[in-house]
Protein backbone atom coordinates (compact mmCIF):
# COMPACT_ATOMS: atom_id res chain seq x y z
CA UNK A 1 0.00 0.00 0.00
CA UNK A 2 1.25 3.36 -0.89
CA UNK A 3 2.03 5.83 1.83
CA UNK A 4 -0.50 8.27 0.43
CA UNK A 5 -3.26 5.67 0.70
CA UNK A 6 -2.32 4.80 4.24
CA UNK A 7 -2.48 8.46 5.11
CA UNK A 8 -5.90 8.82 3.53
CA UNK A 9 -7.17 5.80 5.48
CA UNK A 10 -5.79 7.20 8.72
CA UNK A 11 -7.43 10.57 8.15
CA UNK A 12 -10.79 9.00 7.30
CA UNK A 13 -10.70 6.62 10.28
CA UNK A 14 -9.72 9.42 12.60
CA UNK A 15 -12.55 11.54 11.25
CA UNK A 16 -15.01 8.71 11.76
CA UNK A 17 -13.89 8.08 15.31
CA UNK A 18 -14.03 11.76 16.14
CA UNK A 19 -17.42 12.24 14.52
CA UNK A 20 -18.94 9.16 16.17
CA UNK A 21 -18.13 10.55 19.55
CA UNK A 22 -20.05 13.66 18.57
CA UNK A 23 -23.43 11.83 18.23
CA UNK A 24 -26.35 13.82 19.54
CA UNK A 25 -27.03 13.18 23.21
CA UNK A 26 -30.39 11.64 23.94
CA UNK A 27 -32.12 10.10 26.92
CA UNK A 28 -35.57 8.51 26.97
CA UNK A 29 -38.09 7.25 29.50
CA UNK A 30 -41.46 5.54 29.13
CA UNK A 31 -44.72 5.40 31.00
CA UNK A 32 -47.52 3.00 30.18
CA UNK A 33 -51.14 3.86 30.77
CA UNK A 34 -53.90 1.30 30.90
CA UNK A 35 -57.60 1.90 30.98
CA UNK A 36 -60.12 -0.71 32.11
CA UNK A 37 -63.63 0.09 30.91
CA UNK A 38 -65.85 -2.37 32.73
CA UNK A 39 -69.34 -2.62 31.29
CA UNK A 40 -72.07 -1.25 33.52
CA UNK A 41 -75.77 -1.84 32.90
CA UNK A 42 -78.19 -0.43 35.44
CA UNK A 43 -81.96 -0.56 35.37
CA UNK A 44 -83.65 1.36 38.13
CA UNK A 45 -87.30 0.56 38.56
CA UNK A 46 -89.85 2.33 40.70
CA UNK A 47 -93.06 0.36 40.99
CA UNK A 48 -95.45 -1.05 43.60
CA UNK A 49 -94.65 -4.55 44.73
CA UNK A 50 -97.98 -5.60 43.35
CA UNK A 51 -100.17 -3.84 40.84
CA UNK A 52 -103.74 -4.83 41.54
CA UNK A 53 -106.63 -4.75 39.11
CA UNK A 54 -109.87 -5.39 41.03
CA UNK A 55 -112.92 -5.73 38.84
CA UNK A 56 -115.95 -5.28 41.06
CA UNK A 57 -118.00 -2.94 38.97
CA UNK A 58 -119.67 -3.40 35.59
CA UNK A 59 -118.12 -0.20 34.22
CA UNK A 60 -114.68 -1.54 35.07
CA UNK A 61 -115.41 -4.68 33.09
CA UNK A 62 -116.55 -2.60 30.17
CA UNK A 63 -113.94 0.15 30.20
CA UNK A 64 -111.14 -1.77 31.80
CA UNK A 65 -108.74 -0.46 34.42
CA UNK A 66 -105.66 1.51 33.51
CA UNK A 67 -102.84 2.05 35.97
CA UNK A 68 -101.05 5.10 34.69
CA UNK A 69 -97.29 5.37 35.13
CA UNK A 70 -97.35 2.52 37.58
CA UNK A 71 -93.79 1.67 36.72
CA UNK A 72 -90.91 4.05 36.09
CA UNK A 73 -87.84 2.67 34.35
CA UNK A 74 -84.51 4.50 34.38
CA UNK A 75 -81.55 3.22 32.42
CA UNK A 76 -77.86 3.91 32.74
CA UNK A 77 -75.52 1.96 30.54
CA UNK A 78 -71.97 2.22 29.30
CA UNK A 79 -72.67 -0.13 26.40
CA UNK A 80 -75.32 -0.32 23.70
CA UNK A 81 -78.50 -1.86 25.09
CA UNK A 82 -82.02 -3.12 24.50
CA UNK A 83 -84.91 -3.00 26.95
CA UNK A 84 -87.95 -5.23 26.76
CA UNK A 85 -90.76 -6.60 28.89
CA UNK A 86 -91.75 -10.24 29.22
CA UNK A 87 -95.02 -11.53 30.61
CA UNK A 88 -94.46 -14.60 32.78
CA UNK A 89 -96.34 -16.92 35.10
CA UNK A 90 -95.77 -20.23 36.83
CA UNK A 91 -98.10 -21.82 34.32
CA UNK A 92 -100.27 -23.61 36.90
CA UNK A 93 -103.18 -23.59 34.47
CA UNK A 94 -101.04 -23.92 31.34
CA UNK A 95 -97.83 -22.33 30.02
CA UNK A 96 -98.52 -18.83 28.69
CA UNK A 97 -101.55 -18.26 30.92
CA UNK A 98 -102.17 -16.46 34.21
CA UNK A 99 -101.83 -18.44 37.43
CA UNK A 100 -105.16 -18.95 39.13
CA UNK A 101 -104.75 -18.40 42.90
CA UNK A 102 -108.40 -18.50 43.96
CA UNK A 103 -111.47 -19.91 42.24
CA UNK A 104 -114.69 -18.13 43.27
CA UNK A 105 -116.67 -21.28 42.68
CA UNK A 106 -118.17 -20.81 39.30
CA UNK A 107 -118.28 -24.32 37.91
CA UNK A 108 -120.09 -23.46 34.74
CA UNK A 109 -118.60 -25.53 31.95
CA UNK A 110 -118.10 -22.38 29.90
CA UNK A 111 -116.09 -20.68 32.67
CA UNK A 112 -112.43 -21.11 31.73
CA UNK A 113 -109.50 -20.53 34.02
CA UNK A 114 -106.92 -20.10 31.28
CA UNK A 115 -106.46 -16.38 30.79
CA UNK A 116 -103.73 -15.57 28.23
CA UNK A 117 -100.81 -13.48 29.46
CA UNK A 118 -101.17 -11.31 26.38
CA UNK A 119 -104.33 -9.73 27.79
CA UNK A 120 -102.09 -7.38 29.73
CA UNK A 121 -101.44 -4.25 27.73
CA UNK A 122 -98.53 -1.87 28.27
CA UNK A 123 -98.03 1.67 27.07
CA UNK A 124 -94.70 3.47 27.23
CA UNK A 125 -94.67 7.26 27.47
CA UNK A 126 -92.00 7.80 24.84
CA UNK A 127 -91.62 6.14 21.48
CA UNK A 128 -88.72 3.76 21.08
CA UNK A 129 -85.85 5.40 19.16
CA UNK A 130 -85.68 2.30 16.94
CA UNK A 131 -89.34 2.79 16.04
CA UNK A 132 -88.79 6.45 15.30
CA UNK A 133 -85.99 5.50 12.93
CA UNK A 134 -87.81 2.52 11.43
CA UNK A 135 -91.60 2.44 11.92
CA UNK A 136 -91.71 -1.29 11.10
CA UNK A 137 -90.00 -1.95 14.45
CA UNK A 138 -92.71 -2.28 17.09
CA UNK A 139 -92.88 -0.82 20.57
CA UNK A 140 -95.54 -0.07 23.19
CA UNK A 141 -95.99 3.62 22.46
CA UNK A 142 -99.40 3.39 20.74
CA UNK A 143 -102.41 4.65 22.67
CA UNK A 144 -104.60 1.97 24.17
CA UNK A 145 -107.34 1.15 21.73
CA UNK A 146 -110.88 2.16 22.60
CA UNK A 147 -112.90 -1.01 23.17
CA UNK A 148 -116.04 0.71 21.87
CA UNK A 149 -114.48 1.00 18.45
CA UNK A 150 -113.20 -2.53 18.27
CA UNK A 151 -116.02 -3.45 15.92
CA UNK A 152 -114.64 -0.98 13.44
CA UNK A 153 -111.22 -2.56 13.60
CA UNK A 154 -111.23 -5.15 10.88
CA UNK A 155 -109.22 -7.15 11.42
CA UNK A 156 -108.28 -6.34 15.00
CA UNK A 157 -104.55 -6.32 15.66
CA UNK A 158 -103.16 -5.86 19.14
CA UNK A 159 -100.99 -2.80 19.54
CA UNK A 160 -99.96 -2.94 23.18
CA UNK A 161 -100.00 -6.60 24.24
CA UNK A 162 -97.07 -7.69 26.34
CA UNK A 163 -94.50 -10.02 24.81
CA UNK A 164 -94.95 -13.55 26.14
CA UNK A 165 -92.24 -16.15 26.39
CA UNK A 166 -94.55 -19.09 27.03
CA UNK A 167 -91.82 -21.70 26.93
CA UNK A 168 -89.80 -19.76 29.51
CA UNK A 169 -86.67 -20.22 27.44
CA UNK A 170 -85.50 -16.68 28.11
CA UNK A 171 -85.56 -15.92 24.43
CA UNK A 172 -85.53 -12.18 23.70
CA UNK A 173 -88.32 -10.84 21.52
CA UNK A 174 -87.80 -11.33 17.82
CA UNK A 175 -87.55 -8.62 15.20
CA UNK A 176 -91.34 -8.71 14.81
CA UNK A 177 -92.02 -8.37 18.56
CA UNK A 178 -92.13 -5.27 20.71
CA UNK A 179 -89.25 -3.62 22.51
CA UNK A 180 -89.41 -0.67 24.86
CA UNK A 181 -86.03 0.56 23.66
CA UNK A 182 -83.62 -0.82 21.09
CA UNK A 183 -84.57 -3.85 19.03
CA UNK A 184 -83.53 -7.30 17.89
CA UNK A 185 -80.18 -7.51 16.10
CA UNK A 186 -77.06 -5.41 16.53
CA UNK A 187 -76.44 -4.00 13.08
CA UNK A 188 -77.49 -0.41 12.66
CA UNK A 189 -78.47 2.44 14.92
CA UNK A 190 -82.14 1.43 14.62
CA UNK A 191 -81.43 -1.82 16.48
CA UNK A 192 -79.97 -0.53 19.73
CA UNK A 193 -79.81 2.34 22.13
CA UNK A 194 -76.34 3.82 22.51
CA UNK A 195 -74.75 3.93 25.95
CA UNK A 196 -75.86 6.80 28.15
CA UNK A 197 -77.86 7.63 31.21
CA UNK A 198 -81.03 9.37 32.29
CA UNK A 199 -78.81 11.47 34.53
CA UNK A 200 -77.75 13.45 31.46
CA UNK A 201 -81.34 14.30 30.67
CA UNK A 202 -81.62 17.94 29.65
CA UNK A 203 -85.20 18.01 28.42
CA UNK A 204 -88.47 16.82 29.91
CA UNK A 205 -88.18 13.47 28.13
CA UNK A 206 -85.34 11.06 27.62
CA UNK A 207 -84.69 7.83 25.77
CA UNK A 208 -83.27 6.54 29.05
CA UNK A 209 -86.41 7.20 31.12
CA UNK A 210 -89.79 5.56 30.59
CA UNK A 211 -93.06 5.39 32.43
CA UNK A 212 -95.21 2.35 31.80
CA UNK A 213 -99.02 2.30 31.91
CA UNK A 214 -100.86 -0.99 32.38
CA UNK A 215 -104.34 -1.81 31.19
CA UNK A 216 -106.56 -4.85 31.57
CA UNK A 217 -109.89 -4.83 29.80
CA UNK A 218 -112.10 -7.85 30.54
CA UNK A 219 -115.10 -6.75 28.49
CA UNK A 220 -118.63 -8.04 28.95
CA UNK A 221 -118.82 -10.95 29.07
CA UNK A 222 -115.29 -11.21 30.45
CA UNK A 223 -113.50 -12.61 27.43
CA UNK A 224 -110.61 -10.15 27.28
CA UNK A 225 -111.14 -9.01 23.70
CA UNK A 226 -107.79 -7.17 23.54
CA UNK A 227 -105.72 -10.32 24.07
CA UNK A 228 -103.68 -10.88 20.96
CA UNK A 229 -100.82 -13.12 19.91
CA UNK A 230 -98.46 -11.15 17.70
CA UNK A 231 -96.52 -14.26 16.66
CA UNK A 232 -99.55 -15.91 15.10
CA UNK A 233 -101.31 -12.62 14.36
CA UNK A 234 -104.50 -13.89 15.94
CA UNK A 235 -106.82 -12.97 18.75
CA UNK A 236 -106.38 -14.77 22.05
CA UNK A 237 -109.62 -13.72 23.64
CA UNK A 238 -111.08 -16.35 25.94
CA UNK A 239 -113.94 -17.14 23.56
CA UNK A 240 -111.79 -17.61 20.48
CA UNK A 241 -112.33 -21.36 20.38
CA UNK A 242 -115.63 -21.56 22.23
CA UNK A 243 -117.93 -18.59 21.61
CA UNK A 244 -119.81 -19.36 24.83
CA UNK A 245 -116.69 -19.32 26.99
CA UNK A 246 -115.88 -16.58 29.53
CA UNK A 247 -113.31 -16.03 32.24
CA UNK A 248 -113.91 -17.86 35.48
CA UNK A 249 -114.21 -15.44 38.41
CA UNK A 250 -111.25 -15.68 40.73
CA UNK A 251 -107.89 -14.24 41.65
CA UNK A 252 -105.20 -14.49 39.02
CA UNK A 253 -101.57 -13.45 39.07
CA UNK A 254 -98.77 -13.02 36.61
CA UNK A 255 -95.56 -11.03 36.65
CA UNK A 256 -93.78 -8.72 34.30
CA UNK A 257 -90.06 -8.97 33.90
CA UNK A 258 -88.16 -5.98 32.53
CA UNK A 259 -84.89 -6.99 30.97
CA UNK A 260 -82.04 -4.65 30.16
CA UNK A 261 -79.68 -6.43 27.83
CA UNK A 262 -76.40 -5.46 26.23
CA UNK A 263 -76.98 -5.28 22.49
CA UNK A 264 -74.64 -7.73 20.83
CA UNK B 1 -5.40 -3.73 -3.97
CA UNK B 2 -5.48 -0.10 -4.86
CA UNK B 3 -9.14 -0.38 -5.78
CA UNK B 4 -10.01 -1.94 -2.42
CA UNK B 5 -8.14 0.73 -0.55
CA UNK B 6 -9.93 3.42 -2.52
CA UNK B 7 -13.31 1.84 -1.77
CA UNK B 8 -12.51 1.62 1.93
CA UNK B 9 -11.29 5.17 1.85
CA UNK B 10 -14.41 6.36 0.10
CA UNK B 11 -16.66 4.53 2.60
CA UNK B 12 -14.85 5.88 5.63
CA UNK B 13 -14.78 9.36 4.16
CA UNK B 14 -18.52 9.19 3.50
CA UNK B 15 -19.16 8.07 7.04
CA UNK B 16 -16.95 10.75 8.47
CA UNK B 17 -18.72 13.43 6.42
CA UNK B 18 -22.24 12.28 7.30
CA UNK B 19 -21.66 11.56 10.96
CA UNK B 20 -19.74 14.73 11.60
CA UNK B 21 -22.94 16.71 10.99
CA UNK B 22 -24.02 15.91 14.57
CA UNK B 23 -22.42 18.74 16.46
CA UNK B 24 -22.14 18.13 20.17
CA UNK B 25 -22.60 21.05 22.45
CA UNK B 26 -23.41 19.40 25.76
CA UNK B 27 -21.46 17.15 28.07
CA UNK B 28 -24.47 15.03 29.02
CA UNK B 29 -28.25 14.97 28.95
CA UNK B 30 -30.11 12.80 31.46
CA UNK B 31 -33.77 12.19 32.02
CA UNK B 32 -35.08 10.67 35.24
CA UNK B 33 -38.61 9.45 35.53
CA UNK B 34 -40.42 8.82 38.78
CA UNK B 35 -43.80 7.17 38.43
CA UNK B 36 -46.36 8.63 40.79
CA UNK B 37 -49.22 6.52 42.01
CA UNK B 38 -51.14 4.46 39.56
CA UNK B 39 -51.37 4.85 35.81
CA UNK B 40 -54.05 2.15 35.52
CA UNK B 41 -57.49 3.69 35.31
CA UNK B 42 -60.45 1.47 36.09
CA UNK B 43 -64.04 2.45 35.40
CA UNK B 44 -66.56 0.39 37.33
CA UNK B 45 -69.43 2.74 38.06
CA UNK B 46 -71.31 5.61 36.56
CA UNK B 47 -69.83 8.38 38.58
CA UNK B 48 -66.42 7.41 37.21
CA UNK B 49 -67.68 7.17 33.64
CA UNK B 50 -69.44 10.52 33.99
CA UNK B 51 -66.83 12.49 35.86
CA UNK B 52 -63.72 10.62 34.72
CA UNK B 53 -60.43 10.79 36.54
CA UNK B 54 -59.65 14.46 37.12
CA UNK B 55 -56.03 15.66 37.26
CA UNK B 56 -54.10 12.53 38.08
CA UNK B 57 -50.33 12.87 38.30
CA UNK B 58 -48.76 9.81 36.73
CA UNK B 59 -45.09 10.76 36.73
CA UNK B 60 -42.46 13.37 37.36
CA UNK B 61 -39.66 13.96 34.89
CA UNK B 62 -36.35 15.34 36.05
CA UNK B 63 -33.86 16.80 33.62
CA UNK B 64 -30.13 17.21 34.02
CA UNK B 65 -28.06 18.77 31.24
CA UNK B 66 -24.38 19.51 31.76
CA UNK B 67 -21.95 21.46 29.64
CA UNK B 68 -18.77 20.09 28.17
CA UNK B 69 -15.52 20.34 30.07
CA UNK B 70 -14.65 23.19 27.77
CA UNK B 71 -17.92 25.16 27.94
CA UNK B 72 -19.96 25.49 24.75
CA UNK B 73 -22.40 28.36 24.73
CA UNK B 74 -24.72 26.43 22.39
CA UNK B 75 -25.53 23.63 24.83
CA UNK B 76 -29.30 23.45 24.94
CA UNK B 77 -31.99 20.77 24.87
CA UNK B 78 -35.52 19.92 23.93
CA UNK B 79 -38.06 17.53 25.41
CA UNK B 80 -40.70 15.78 23.35
CA UNK B 81 -43.46 13.30 24.00
CA UNK B 82 -44.63 10.67 21.56
CA UNK B 83 -47.51 8.29 22.10
CA UNK B 84 -47.49 4.69 20.97
CA UNK B 85 -50.56 2.48 20.55
CA UNK B 86 -48.77 -0.58 19.18
CA UNK B 87 -49.98 -0.13 15.63
CA UNK B 88 -53.68 0.37 16.31
CA UNK B 89 -55.68 2.94 14.39
CA UNK B 90 -53.74 6.16 14.88
CA UNK B 91 -56.56 7.94 16.70
CA UNK B 92 -57.46 5.06 19.00
CA UNK B 93 -56.14 3.27 22.07
CA UNK B 94 -54.52 -0.11 21.74
CA UNK B 95 -57.00 -2.88 22.52
CA UNK B 96 -55.74 -5.41 25.03
CA UNK B 97 -59.06 -7.20 25.24
CA UNK B 98 -62.75 -6.58 24.74
CA UNK B 99 -65.34 -7.53 27.32
CA UNK B 100 -68.03 -8.02 24.70
CA UNK B 101 -68.13 -8.60 20.96
CA UNK B 102 -66.36 -5.29 20.31
CA UNK B 103 -68.70 -4.14 17.59
CA UNK B 104 -68.82 -0.62 18.97
CA UNK B 105 -66.12 2.01 18.54
CA UNK B 106 -62.87 1.71 20.45
CA UNK B 107 -61.84 4.57 22.73
CA UNK B 108 -60.29 7.55 20.99
CA UNK B 109 -57.04 9.15 22.09
CA UNK B 110 -58.94 12.39 22.57
CA UNK B 111 -60.53 11.15 25.80
CA UNK B 112 -57.10 11.52 27.37
CA UNK B 113 -55.83 15.01 28.13
CA UNK B 114 -52.27 15.75 29.15
CA UNK B 115 -50.75 18.62 31.07
CA UNK B 116 -47.02 18.91 31.62
CA UNK B 117 -45.95 21.63 33.98
CA UNK B 118 -43.24 22.81 36.27
CA UNK B 119 -43.27 25.67 38.73
CA UNK B 120 -42.21 28.16 36.06
CA UNK B 121 -44.64 26.78 33.47
CA UNK B 122 -41.83 26.61 30.95
CA UNK B 123 -43.76 24.42 28.52
CA UNK B 124 -45.34 26.64 25.91
CA UNK B 125 -48.02 24.24 24.69
CA UNK B 126 -48.79 22.04 27.69
CA UNK B 127 -49.35 24.40 30.59
CA UNK B 128 -53.04 23.59 30.24
CA UNK B 129 -54.67 20.24 29.58
CA UNK B 130 -54.45 19.32 25.91
CA UNK B 131 -56.35 16.36 24.42
CA UNK B 132 -54.35 13.86 22.41
CA UNK B 133 -55.49 13.34 18.85
CA UNK B 134 -53.13 11.13 16.85
CA UNK B 135 -50.14 8.92 17.65
CA UNK B 136 -48.28 10.48 14.73
CA UNK B 137 -48.23 13.82 16.51
CA UNK B 138 -45.01 14.85 18.23
CA UNK B 139 -45.81 16.77 21.36
CA UNK B 140 -43.14 19.36 22.05
CA UNK B 141 -42.88 19.98 25.76
CA UNK B 142 -39.76 22.12 25.38
CA UNK B 143 -39.51 23.03 21.74
CA UNK B 144 -36.58 21.93 19.55
CA UNK B 145 -34.64 24.61 17.72
CA UNK B 146 -35.41 24.57 14.02
CA UNK B 147 -32.62 25.63 11.66
CA UNK B 148 -29.15 26.72 12.62
CA UNK B 149 -28.57 26.82 16.33
CA UNK B 150 -27.58 30.30 17.53
CA UNK B 151 -26.43 31.40 20.94
CA UNK B 152 -29.57 33.50 21.16
CA UNK B 153 -31.67 30.32 20.98
CA UNK B 154 -30.38 29.20 24.33
CA UNK B 155 -32.64 30.31 27.17
CA UNK B 156 -30.63 29.97 30.36
CA UNK B 157 -31.83 28.41 33.56
CA UNK B 158 -33.10 30.62 36.37
CA UNK B 159 -34.86 32.85 33.85
CA UNK B 160 -38.20 31.17 34.63
CA UNK B 161 -39.70 31.87 31.20
CA UNK B 162 -41.09 29.69 28.43
CA UNK B 163 -38.83 27.08 26.84
CA UNK B 164 -35.92 27.29 29.25
CA UNK B 165 -33.36 25.03 27.57
CA UNK B 166 -29.91 25.92 28.88
CA UNK B 167 -27.66 23.85 31.06
CA UNK B 168 -29.02 23.05 34.48
CA UNK B 169 -30.53 20.32 36.57
CA UNK B 170 -33.46 19.44 38.75
CA UNK B 171 -31.47 20.02 41.92
CA UNK B 172 -30.20 23.53 41.28
CA UNK B 173 -33.09 24.59 39.06
CA UNK B 174 -36.00 22.58 40.39
CA UNK B 175 -38.67 24.98 39.15
CA UNK B 176 -37.59 24.64 35.53
CA UNK B 177 -36.12 21.15 35.27
CA UNK B 178 -38.77 19.10 37.06
CA UNK B 179 -41.91 18.37 35.09
CA UNK B 180 -45.15 17.04 36.49
CA UNK B 181 -47.07 14.82 34.07
CA UNK B 182 -50.80 14.99 34.70
CA UNK B 183 -53.58 13.30 32.79
CA UNK B 184 -57.32 13.66 32.77
CA UNK B 185 -59.41 10.79 31.45
CA UNK B 186 -63.13 10.90 30.70
CA UNK B 187 -64.33 8.01 28.54
CA UNK B 188 -68.05 8.73 28.24
CA UNK B 189 -70.39 5.88 27.43
CA UNK B 190 -70.09 5.22 23.74
CA UNK B 191 -67.01 3.03 23.54
CA UNK B 192 -66.47 -0.70 23.66
CA UNK B 193 -65.88 -2.03 27.15
CA UNK B 194 -62.50 -3.67 27.55
CA UNK B 195 -58.93 -3.07 28.55
CA UNK B 196 -56.91 -0.56 26.57
CA UNK B 197 -53.38 0.80 26.70
CA UNK B 198 -51.09 3.59 25.56
CA UNK B 199 -47.38 4.14 25.97
CA UNK B 200 -45.82 7.56 26.57
CA UNK B 201 -42.26 8.00 25.35
CA UNK B 202 -40.42 11.04 26.70
CA UNK B 203 -37.30 11.95 24.75
CA UNK B 204 -34.71 14.44 25.91
CA UNK B 205 -32.28 15.58 23.19
CA UNK B 206 -29.63 18.19 22.92
CA UNK B 207 -30.31 20.75 20.23
CA UNK B 208 -27.92 20.52 17.30
Chain B residues 120-159 within an 8 A CB cutoff of chain A: none
* Average pLDDT of the residues in A204-232: 93
CA distance A56 to B22: 98
* Average pLDDT of the residues in B15-40: 75
Q: Is B135 part of any domain?
A: yes
CA distance B145 to B80: 12
* pLDDT tens column, A114-171: 999 999 999 999 999 999 999 999 999 999 988 777 665 556 778 999 999 888 888 8
Task: Identify the pLDDT of residue A33.
Answer: 93
Q: How many domains does chain B have?
A: 1
Identify the band that residue A75 occupies on the pLDDT scale cut at 50, 70 and 90: very high
Residue A26 has pLDDT above 60, yes or no: yes
Higher pLDDT residue, A225 or B6?
A225
Q: Is B162 part of any domain?
A: yes
- Non-local (6+) Cβ contacts of A144 within 8 A are A66, A121, A123, A160, A213, A215
Give the 3-state secondary structure percentages of chain A, helix then strand then coil, rounded to 5: 15, 35, 50
Complex confidence, ipTM: 0.81
Are B202 and B31 spatial neighbours (Cβ–Cβ below 8 Å)? yes
Q: Is B146 part of any domain?
A: yes
Least confident of A91-95, A197-201, A241-245, B42-46: A197-201
CA distance A207 to A196: 9
* pLDDT tens column, B33-52: 999 878 999 999 888 888 89
Task: Identify the pLDDT of residue B104.
Answer: 81
Mean residue pLDDT of chain A comes to 88
Q: Is B196 part of any domain?
A: yes
Task: Identify the pLDDT of residue A25.
Answer: 87
Are B49 and B41 spatial neighbours (Cβ–Cβ below 8 Å)? no
Q: CB atoms < 10 A from the CB of B101, how many?
A: 11
Q: Is B67 part of any domain?
A: yes
Chain B residues 94-123 within an 8 A CB cutoff of chain A: 96, 99-101, 103-104, 107, 112
* pLDDT tens column, A184-199: 987 778 899 988 888 8
Q: Is B3 part of any domain?
A: no
Q: Is B1 part of any domain?
A: no
Are A247 and A218 spatial neighbours (Cβ–Cβ below 8 Å)? yes
Identify the band that residue A18 occupies on the pLDDT scale cut at 50, 70 and 90: very low
Closest residue, chain A, to B33 (C-alpha)? A29
Identify the band that residue B204 occupies on the pLDDT scale cut at 50, 70 and 90: very high
Are A186 and A264 spatial neighbours (Cβ–Cβ below 8 Å)? yes
Residues spanned by the domain of B58 = 9-206
Higher pLDDT residue, B200 or A8?
B200
Closest residue, chain B, to A39 (C-alpha)? B193
Coil, helix or strand at residue A190:
helix
CA distance A128 to A134: 10
In angstroms, the separation between the Cα of residue B43 and the nearest Cα of chain A is: 5
What's the longest Cα–Cα distance across chain B? 78
Amino acid sequence: MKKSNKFKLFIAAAGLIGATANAQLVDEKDVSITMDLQPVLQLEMTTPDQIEFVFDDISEYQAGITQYAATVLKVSSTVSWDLYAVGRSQGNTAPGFWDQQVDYGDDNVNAVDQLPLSLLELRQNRQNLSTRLDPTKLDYSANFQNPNTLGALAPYAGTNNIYVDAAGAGTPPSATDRYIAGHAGDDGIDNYMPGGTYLNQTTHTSDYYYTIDYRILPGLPAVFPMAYDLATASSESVNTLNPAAYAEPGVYTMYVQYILLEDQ
Amino acid sequence: MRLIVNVIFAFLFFLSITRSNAQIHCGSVELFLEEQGNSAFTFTDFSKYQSGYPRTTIARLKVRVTDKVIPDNLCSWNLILTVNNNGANSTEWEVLNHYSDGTGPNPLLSILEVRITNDCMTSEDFSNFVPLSDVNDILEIIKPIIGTLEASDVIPSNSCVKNVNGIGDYISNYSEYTFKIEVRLKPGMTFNPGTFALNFNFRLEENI
